[in-house]
Chain A
Amino acid sequence: AQSVTQLDSQVPVFEEAPVELRCNYSSSVSVYLFWYVQYPNQGLQLLLKYLSGSTLVKGINGFEAEFNKSQTSFHLRKPSVHISDTAEYFCAVSDSSASKIIFGSGTRLSIRP
């Protein structure tokens, strides 16, 4: 079975500061890993994904994540956040069919001016 753990339910950070949102996963098979963002009253938007290959994945809006197989982690980072990054972020995992996605509990990122 697959599962995802997001270690922080809320992360407050000052504008233009760096941020890291932590994610650990467990799976007995090869997986795809994702980070999604959800803005208030909206659906989910894919930020980035890891399918295979380079362990450093770059996504939209300046976000990047690093796949670490030995630590079963997929932490999301951004060097300098903006007010517009205020949202909830979900780490997720799926098998190779990608038709069923297992989500973490989410991390609410709040940006202070």
Chain B
Amino acid sequence: KAGVTQTPRYLIKTRGQQVTLSCSPISGHRSVSWYQQTPGQGLQFLFEYFSETQRNKGNFPGRFSGRQFSNSRSEMNVSTLELGDSALYLCASSWRQVNSYNEQFFGPGTRLTVL
């Protein structure tokens, strides 16, 4: 079974631009969570999508948004990029079954560099 895939793997943008990152979950998984990893702030939770609805949100500005499609694939968008948005963006997928533990499986990440 294929793992979580993220595209693109590397991206270079300039300040003020916007960017869209894509995440394809493991087949059958219905939940996708996004995380930002930076040297200064570490790993921080951005948001989770399940059944095309945002279920959980971290403490990030509104420039960070996401969506989920009916096939569970997810995209996250960052508008008006700032230098501090340079990071590794990880997505993770899980079954999200009720009343049971749902392991999150992580993709390899997209490394975004903002110049």
Contacts and interface: CB of A to CB of B under 8 A. Distances in A.
Given A99-B55, A101-B45, A106-B42, A43 B103 contact: no
B56 A99 contact: yes
Interface stretch (A16-24, A44-52, A55-63, A76-84): A44-52
B102 A103 contact: no
A43 B90 CA distance: 7
Interface residues of B, number: 25
Q: How large is the interface on A (under 10, 10 to 19, 20 to 34, 35 or more residues)?
A: 20 to 34
A49 B102 CA distance: 11
Interface in B24-80: 31, 33, 35, 42-45, 48, 50, 55-56, 58
A45 B106 contact: yes
A100 interface: yes
Interface of B: 4, 31, 33, 35, 42-45, 48, 50, 55-56, 58, 90, 92, 94, 96, 101-104, 106-109
